[in-house]
Structure 1
Amino acid sequence: MNKILTYLTELEQNNNRDWFHAHKPEYQGACRAFEELLQVLMLELKKFDDCIPVVEPKELTFKLMRDTRFSHDKSPYNPAFRAHIAPRGKLPVPVGYYLMIKPGGRSFLGGGLFADMFKDATAMVREYIAAHGDEWQEIITAPAFTDRFTVGGTALKNVPRGYDAAHPQAAYLKNKSWYLEFPVSDEQCLAADFIPFAASVFEAMQPFNAFLNRALEGFEMPTRS
């Protein structure tokens, strides 16, 4: 982890292509360290979530390169190592466990549905929450949940048409995405028990993820034309 954070800190301070290519060995070493971490973490997640497959860690990671075409910030790299460990690898659906390592106390452990551009997925989750409101309420009010998480997500101003504005879960029916973020300090990242600590946080997310995945059963990711 020290190798990962050191590299990312230096990349943030030298966010240009010349520096990146001149320090390719450091990048490769940090990538190997991150993939080794993911390998161990994946096995820990399987202990409480048997939907998690064992795959090559590099299949779960996201690139550092940024798409700057429509951004005022033209920095070519995002100084963060990110991965999504889920039933179908890093695809956003089915939902899984998201890890972002970013120096300066900006790391976090995440879960749920972050993507809000899939209208069918949003509709499926809304329908399921509307029909299983008691189960949803039980999950998000459990002490193991409330001690760590608050449900986030982009949301409409009003309950969408077709749903009861007086529904007990009306606040969540407004959402277009439903996710969790647990912040992690640099000190926590560097601690010797980071992996069991992260696994314990992810285990507390598991009922939330499982609910969303039951809602999303049958959803197919759109194919690129």
Structure 2
Amino acid sequence: MASSILTYLAALESNNNREWYQAHKADFQQANSEFEGLIQSLIFELGKNEPNILMHEPKDLTFRLVRDTRYSHDKSPYNPTFRCHISSAGKLPIPVGYYLSIRPGNRSFFGGGLFADMFKEATNMIRMHINTHAEEFKQIITEPAFQQNFEVRGESLHNVPKEFCKDHPLADFLKFKSWYIEYSVSDDSIDHSQNFISMAVEKYLLMKPFNDFLNDALHGFTMPQR
């Protein structure tokens, strides 16, 4: 059971302040331990197909609850969501991998693809790959099981970039600055951890051809140095 994850996050959402957070560190540690247990199970299962994933520890794949509020109207100090990204390079956005976001209120999801849109070089590399491998991309996103589960989303320009034909059969996807897919997960599913892992692996394996396509496009990309 993973009920302490949802219980803790729901309580944090209702008490989103530093005093409550500090007073309930033990609750966080229990919930976080359960979350890392879920991640470890996913690493093991996904590593059967992608062995490089097995190199990573769950704690290295998670994101902090603390929010950066400097440029936000919402000054709540915490994001009441447990998140991780599992890929051959860990939680870096590139290469793309498998994203997990758990938030109570049936707002959890499995994700794949490139969520980040701030890397212009990565965006250009994917656009070029879609342009030159249009049929392959179309086959992936029109495969029946893919269409039944996912819809490709992302930040988008109003027009097709000038270096591409505006009448390209995949023109709408050439406008994108990011390309990602999500599968919504209910709270009830999370409460039954073994079924949850099975469902997650099933959906992630359906995402794999999409991720593989993007990673082929991103071959040679180097993350900018901070």
Question: TM-score of the superposition, structure 1-length normalised?
Answer: 0.97
Which range is displaced more, 52-61 or 16-25? 52-61
Tell me by how many angstroms 1:88 deviates: 0.5
Q: Distance in 2 between matches of 1:46 and 1:88?
A: 13
Structure 1 gap segments, 5+ residues each = none
Q: Distance in 2 between matches of 1:90 and 1:65?
A: 17
Q: Distance in 1 between matches of 2:97 and 2:163?
A: 29
Match of 2:17 in 1: 16
1:114 paired with 2:98, answer no
Q: Distance in 2 between matches of 1:92 and 1:198?
A: 19
Match of 2:155 in 1: 154
AA of the residue aligned to 2:99: Y
Q: Distance in 1 between matches of 2:50 and 2:205?
A: 8
For 1:58-73, what aligned pairs fall within 5 Å after superposition? 58-73=59-74
Aligned length: 224
SS at match of 1:71: coil
Match of 1:222 in 2: 224
SS at match of 2:4: helix
Q: Distance in 2 between matches of 1:172 and 1:194?
A: 31
Q: Distance in 1 between matches of 2:125 and 2:52?
A: 20
Tell me by how many angstroms 1:36 deviates: 0.9
Q: 1:205 aligns with which of 196, 204, 207?
A: 207
Match of 1:44 in 2: 45
Over aligned residues, Cα RMSD in angstroms? 0.9
AA of the residue aligned to 1:205: M
AA of the residue aligned to 1:37: L
Tell me by how many angstroms 1:39 deviates: 0.4
Match of 1:139 in 2: 140
Q: Distance in 2 between matches of 1:47 and 1:136?
A: 25
CA contact (8 A) 1:145 1:205 kept: yes
Match of 1:93 in 2: 94
Structure 2 gap segments, 5+ residues each = none
Structure 1 stretches of 4+ moved >3 Å: none
CA contact (8 A) 1:49 1:206 kept: no
1:185 paired with 2:186, answer yes
SS at match of 1:153: coil
Residues 166-221 of structure 1, C-alpha deviations (whole Å, 9 max, x = no match): 11111100000000011111011113400011110000000000000000000000
Q: Distance in 1 between matches of 2:51 and 2:131?
A: 27
Tell me by how many angstroms 1:51 deviates: 4.4
Q: Distance in 2 between matches of 1:39 and 1:54?
A: 11
Residues 37-63 of structure 1, C-alpha deviations (whole Å, 9 max, x = no match): 100111111223344233110100000
CA contact (8 A) 1:15 1:76 kept: yes
Match of 1:30 in 2: 31
Sequence identity (%): 56
Residues 144-165 of structure 1, C-alpha deviations (whole Å, 9 max, x = no match): 1001000000010110011011
SS at match of 1:193: helix
Q: Distance in 1 between matches of 2:140 and 2:66?
A: 37
Residues 125-147 of structure 1, C-alpha deviations (whole Å, 9 max, x = no match): 00000000000000000011001
Q: Distance in 1 between matches of 2:78 and 2:91?
A: 20
Q: Distance in 2 between matches of 1:49 and 1:190?
A: 27
Q: Distance in 1 between matches of 2:69 and 2:51?
A: 38
